[in-house]
Amino acid sequence: MKQIIPTLSLLIGLLNNLMAQPADKKSMEMGGGGFNIGYGYMDVSKLNVFIPENTSKFKNSMLLVGGSGHIIIENFVIGGSGFGIIGDEIKTDSFKVNLNGGLGTFDVGYVLINKKRLKFYPMLGIGRGGFGLQILSNKNLSIDHVVKNPGQEINISQSNFVADVSLNLDIIPFLKYNELENSYGGFMTGIKIGYIYSLPSSDWEYAGGDINGGPNFGYKMFYFKLILGGFGYQNNKNK
């Protein structure tokens, strides 16, 4: 706790300094993007029906890895994002099962705080996502066993339209002027906090067809992401 208070004070001081800097009203062409990594939490207890009762159950924690990019025209934000989801893995002496998924969205938003080195905006993303699990054999097999028992691996999944509602904070601590391009560019870091939702569905499939009797499941995931990338302004002063 003693280390947290000075860190928070330093962060608040940095944000106050960034917010005190006026936005460049003449530089209307701007955009940024980068690598995203984060944490997601989603109740996946319904997917335990795919594993034997005598094994451990899936955890609700997810690792999110992907990328995003956007442009800002006046205060309107247009962009896109996509990421993969790495969920829990259950492993026994004979098999292993892991959760995984991914989604992509088209994003729109509006900047509420538009400073030169700090942007804050809500965003709505609409797209499509899939989620499921992979069941694998976890032991050595003879060639006779492989021939007599085909289909040792199965990928079970479903896909649906998704909505992603988020709050976004972009911080551009340093900007460098490019005289040739008449533009500014620099490193960007950011925070994205949001919620992803899709209508529940019981339509599950694998490579060979449909799976009947599956659970009614959909995205209901809270998440937090850290963004590392770049941001740039096209200077319009000479136009």
The domain in which residue 88 lies consists of 29-234
DSSP H or E stretch at residue 54: none
Task: Determine if the pTM surpasses 0.85.
Answer: no
Task: Encode the chain (239 residues) as per-residue pLDDT tens digits.
Answer: 344 344 334 444 444 454 444 454 444 578 899 999 999 999 999 999 888 878 889 999 999 999 999 999 889 999 999 999 999 988 877 788 899 999 999 999 999 998 888 999 999 999 999 999 988 766 655 555 554 555 567 788 999 999 999 999 999 988 787 777 777 788 999 999 999 999 998 889 887 788 888 899 999 999 999 999 999 887 665 44
Overall domain count for the chain: 1
Residue 149 domain-assigned (yes or no): yes
CA 43 to chain centre: 17
Residue 24 domain-assigned (yes or no): no
Backbone angles phi, psi at 6, to 5 degrees: -60, -35
Residue 185 domain-assigned (yes or no): yes
CA dihedral 33, 39, 42, 44 (to 10 degrees): 120
Q: Which residues contact 112 (CB under 8 A, 6 or more apart)?
A: 120, 121, 122
Residue 211 domain-assigned (yes or no): yes
Residue 1 domain-assigned (yes or no): no
Residue 54 domain-assigned (yes or no): yes
CATH number at residue 106: 2.40.160.20
Residue 188 domain-assigned (yes or no): yes
Residue 17 domain-assigned (yes or no): no
Q: Which residues contact 60 (CB under 8 A, 6 or more apart)?
A: 41, 42, 43, 44, 45, 88
